[in-house]
Amino acid sequence: MRPTIYKDANHKPEMAIALTDFRALCGFVTIEELKDVLATVPEILELVGYEELSKIMNDKEHDGHIEPKSFLQSIFTRLMLAKQEAVSEAVLKLKSRLNSDNKKRMLTEKEQLVLLLEKQYPGDVGVISAFFFNYVKLSPGEALYIAANEPHAYLSGECIECMATSDNVVRAGLTPKFRDVQTLCSMLTYKQGFPEILRGVTLNPFVSRYTPPFDEFEVDRCLLPPQESVVFSAVPGPSIFS
């Protein structure tokens, strides 16, 4: 997979532990939520194409049911590969519609987020694709983990980020850096559902442990009051204190 750009063969699972109120987009919404998005966000249908959407739905239907992963991959890939001119026009339409709707009703949290993203990244496909992802809000001390090949974007707040050793980052939106949309769309797992939120397991009055479901690392969080002390037991491997 483009070894001249992605030279590291290691995968890159990671975990973010919130230090302040923290916001992120992480993983794909469920098929039920996606159907609601397609029914209420006409700008997505304009980019994907009404006829193409009907064709995809018919192609992916089996025994009267949509195959979620295959359906999501087809729709998301077509959206992300839309021409920039069409994307910019769709984002402007979306912005205008939401600003108009805001005078008649309370916008959803996702719609409010989309308007905020549009101010930061006008005309970016990441503005519209935000509807495909879970909007995650963490309080200080809460954490989320992200397996390899799962989409995510950290939006606001401060966190401690821990990840496996890997140099690879594949970007496709909400960034001024190099984008590789085709590679991203082909490598994702297209797993759907809201991510698990970790709150740490209490080891003693001062230390909580965050253990994601992969072997590379875990994180201990220590909140030590003045005049108190704590002992960290040795572990069979390297440790980093910061």
Read off the tokens for 47: 């980019």
**Contact indicator for 179, 171 with CB cutoff of 8 Å:** yes
Tell me which residue has tokens 């980093």. Answer: 240
Is 199 assigned a catalytic role? no
Q: How far is CA 144 from CA 116, 148, 162, 241, in A?
A: 23, 13, 11, 20
Distance CA 14, CA 170 (A): 14
**Contact indicator for 208, 200 with CB cutoff of 8 Å:** yes
3-class state of residue 206 by DSSP: coil
Sign of the C-alpha dihedral, residues 146, 162, 13, 171? positive
Catalytic: which of 171, 199, 209, 221?
A: 171
Distance CA 126, CA 132 (A): 10
Pairing of β 159-163 and β 133-138: unpaired
Residues tagged active-site = 171
